[in-house]
Structure 1
Amino acid sequence: MTHYFFHIRNRHGRIEDLEGSDFDTLQAALAEARLSAREILADDLRKGRMDEARLFEIEDVGGRTVARLPFSDVLD
């Protein structure tokens, strides 16, 4: 298992994920990031706002960015 952190970058800076989560593969972490981005965007819509300019910066325990997932990539 690898521990990954899902930081959210927006126009104003970065929101740090201080806990992180364990995943068997990077692909599994990316699948979770996609699901989370959809949930965040759905919550935004319910509140009458939308900011697609955010993205997840996924880091490993060494602080290396291993993937980036723009929220706009999860919209159909």
Structure 2
Amino acid sequence: MPKYFFHVRRNDVFEEDPEGIDLATPELAFEEATAAARDIVAERIRMGSRANGDTFEIMTEDGSLVATVPFRSAIRLD
């Protein structure tokens, strides 16, 4: 099963995910990143912190970019 890494880009800062997670497909990796972003944004809102601006960059073990998931795309504003 492939391993996907959920790196976070915050403005010009890149935070690497050193562990990654085993998932069967890129689509599942995208769903996992979206759910994680939603949880992070919800926690930031509860804490009174800024809730947007970050992005997950989902990469494979060989460093190939699979998808980007802006945190703001994980929440519905309507």
TM-score by length of 1: 0.94
Unaligned runs of 5+ in 1: none
Q: Which residue of 2 aligns with 1:14?
A: 14
Deviations 1:11-59 (A, max 9, x none): 1411110000000000011110011000000110111012311100000
Q: Which runs of 5+ in 2 are unaligned?
A: none
Question: Which residue of structure 2 lines up, in the alignment, with residue 52 of structure 1?
Answer: 52
Tell me the CA shift for residue 72 of structure 1: 1.0
What is the alpha-carbon root mean square deviation over aligned residues? 0.9
1:23 aligns with 2:23: yes
Please tell me whether residue 33 in structure 1 is matched to residue 3 in structure 2. no
Paired with 1:51 and 1:12, the residues of 2 have a C-alpha distance of 17
| Percentage of pairs with the same residue | 38
Runs of 4+ residues over 3 Å off in structure 1: none
